[in-house]
Structure 1
């Protein structure tokens, strides 16, 4: 484990990621607050979040295959430019007073559709900017910087910006997309080592190869299953959190902003903790530690009806979520062939992210049927199941040497 060099493009990529996340945080916090002004139906509000995840099911695998074929830098710049234009148009619509739930759902769906290419290209691009030994530190610095900008800096400003005008957070998001596009377009990278594609190779065949590679790796398969369960739980929690805070705790928009800020503070601190935990217990076991702490945090959020308990739970949840994310992404990058990072990333993200829209809809239904604290308790159960599913990933990889007795042996990936 060693830190990445800021020169060579990583510094510009870090800056682009931080600037873009600042705008995303403004938009993501403003969308549910705008939604509750348009409707108080929990299931309808949850649908906005669900449609923000749905494109991963439809286009996620395709985005990974394309990311392995194209110039990832140019693809990311083009995607950010288009997203900037879309959010700018939405901001204008909100300013004119024509916002609606249908429009919110359409925006969430469109932005995530573009994100399927951007995220897979970004994951595949990083190994071209830093050495593989520095991937863990690079991921930690990227995610920590994003949380600093997105939570600590952006979160507290959302109520103020909304007071200045409902369109203001979305206008700021559009500007950050365009700035990030310019930064990414200026990168100079070495192309990844790619084997020539066989004649007649199709995107479908390349997608299938990524799925087989993910399924064939015992560690990645277990981590993907655990992440799927966690995403179902987080989808249920996040989709209804605004109702949990404003209706169950009765703390209003300020309470919601405080909860998101607490989560961001925890995530920021987790960026510094992720590599330390991995260095002590290993990357796979660090996920186990994170899952256990998150389960306890969700039980606290769902059972204690007090703002202080919510803030403590969200802080711990964010802290361990960063530990999980840094080590999960690094595991995937380190265990994937360089020419297949985009496809394996897409297979992992599509499979694991598929739980988020299901969780969002499930959270809305549970909140309506059993109470607004129900989604947090449901998430705790799912996180506990995720911890159990990690057990196969804890077994060490063993190099198998072919014996002299002719017995068949398995070849385990290092």
Structure 2
């Protein structure tokens, strides 16, 4: 029977992958702690809904402002070093906030400014970090590698981090952020153990098969995306489905407490059900990847998304809502792992950062648009109306892209000698 370490991080993925996994899980724990502690801190300083909402918006705004630039930076510098610098900057920013809290000089403005600067550093850390896995493992192992990274996000960021952050905040306002500093600092140490990642270079064969190079690096990435139908369609699907998903999710707390009558505790349990469903997706992904084609899995996941919106629009029973949310967590995890894996397999190594950043700008842009629409729709037509909007929008989108999903899953990457992971990165521990 394989050991626990072998199950979590198979030896074939290499030592560097284990350092990357440890760094990602540790960083996610710190972010999960802040996920609950930051809103609690702002709410303790002001009762203004605008200021409380502004704290949440600080998570998205840096992506819209700096996402594409961060992708270009990641494609032209040592990506491991970029993650270390960005995470180190995040630790310094939070340390400054702790000083303000301990000395009693913290204000809402300082907290919001800290959230924005921290979010900006996070853009560069996440963008560069998302490009490391394809440099460390073989294309055939990207699925299991992404699944393990997603597992850390679910367990540390969504399950363990938020309650720990709330508990620490109850002890003292600065404690969750002090622990967050320790987590992020440890993540820097762990990722420093990965061998230095060389700056990806363009390959002559890839250049001949690709579109002409633009003089501007961001424009080059956008041009490549425009001329690659599978990846372009995948990015558009993610954008549209994030719009339809975010519309009802923006008023989920009101839907749960007023429409379903669940109360604050029930609302918290509802969101936890999603993370628990994700754990089922984690356990099942290895089997699914071996026995079911990616095209079938993509169609099933998006179909379940459509049905989930319909079910939420129709139900008034909390028990059914829990079951729906549990299922959502399971298929959403599978979809996220597959879509990331497919994109990483199809994008040349020297463009991984830029295409990943375009994808993330689409994700957060879709969230902002969807949240704005959801609030207006609910205010005008009631709390179930955003679910009907999401059902109709996602259904139309699925019908349009149904045939394209098989083409996306079956697409072959442009051969690029720079795209093969360096075997030495899986064995060396330090640069």
Same structural fold, with TM-score higher than 0.5 when normalized by the shorter chain: yes
Deviation at 1:269, TM superposition (A): 1.8
Cα deviation digits, residues 331-373 of structure 1 (max 9, x gap): 1110011221112212222234321112222233334444444
Match of 1:408 in 2: none
Label 1:223 to 1:186 Cα distance change in 2 as closer, same or farther (>3 A).
same
Cα deviation digits, residues 145-186 of structure 1 (max 9, x gap): 321222332344454334334444333323211111121122
Label 1:340 to 1:148 Cα distance change in 2 as closer, same or farther (>3 A).
same
Label 1:59 to 1:141 Cα distance change in 2 as closer, same or farther (>3 A).
same
- CA distance in 2 between partners of 1:108 and 1:368 (Å): 29
Q: In structure 2, the residue corresponding to 1:147 is in which secondary structure?
A: helix
Cα deviation digits, residues 4-31 of structure 1 (max 9, x gap): 6353311111011111111212222344
Label 1:185 to 1:311 Cα distance change in 2 as closer, same or farther (>3 A).
same
Label 1:309 to 1:398 Cα distance change in 2 as closer, same or farther (>3 A).
closer
Match of 1:70 in 2: 77
After TM superposition, the structure 1 = structure 2 runs for residues 371-390 of structure 1, keeping only pairs within 5 Å, are: 371-390=382-401
After TM superposition, the structure 1 = structure 2 runs for residues 333-352 of structure 1, keeping only pairs within 5 Å, are: 333-352=344-363
- CA distance in 2 between partners of 1:44 and 1:126 (Å): 37
- CA distance in 2 between partners of 1:183 and 1:324 (Å): 28
- CA distance in 2 between partners of 1:118 and 1:370 (Å): 40
- CA distance in 1 between partners of 2:413 and 2:19 (Å): 38
After TM superposition, the structure 1 = structure 2 runs for residues 298-337 of structure 1, keeping only pairs within 5 Å, are: 298-337=309-348
Please tell me whether the aligned partners of residues 30 and 162 of structure 1 are also in contact (alpha carbons under 8 angstroms): yes
Deviation at 1:68, TM superposition (A): 0.7
Match of 1:295 in 2: 306
After TM superposition, the structure 1 = structure 2 runs for residues 5-404 of structure 1, keeping only pairs within 5 Å, are: 5=12, 7-32=14-39, 38-39=46-47, 41=49, 45-91=52-98, 93=100, 96=104, 98-100=106-108, 105-191=112-198, 193-195=200-202, 205-246=216-257, 248-249=259-260, 251-396=262-407
- CA distance in 1 between partners of 2:164 and 2:413 (Å): 50
Q: In structure 2, the residue corresponding to 1:188 is in which secondary structure?
A: coil
Please tell me whether the aligned partners of residues 249 and 305 of structure 1 are also in contact (alpha carbons under 8 angstroms): yes
Match of 1:407 in 2: none
Q: What is the number of residues matched between the two proteins?
A: 398
Q: In structure 2, the residue corresponding to 1:154 is in which secondary structure?
A: helix
- CA distance in 2 between partners of 1:122 and 1:412 (Å): 21
Deviation at 1:118, TM superposition (A): 1.7
Please list every run of 5 or more consecutive structure 1 residues that lacks an aligned counterpart in the other structure. 400-410
Aligned-pair Cα RMSD in Å: 3.4
Please tell me whether the aligned partners of residues 4 and 131 of structure 1 are also in contact (alpha carbons under 8 angstroms): no
Stretch deviating more after TM superposition (281-290 or 155-164):
155-164
TM-score normalised according to structure 2 size: 0.80
- CA distance in 2 between partners of 1:398 and 1:298 (Å): 25
- CA distance in 1 between partners of 2:64 and 2:372 (Å): 15
Label 1:257 to 1:240 Cα distance change in 2 as closer, same or farther (>3 A).
same
- CA distance in 2 between partners of 1:33 and 1:196 (Å): 50
Label 1:345 to 1:375 Cα distance change in 2 as closer, same or farther (>3 A).
same
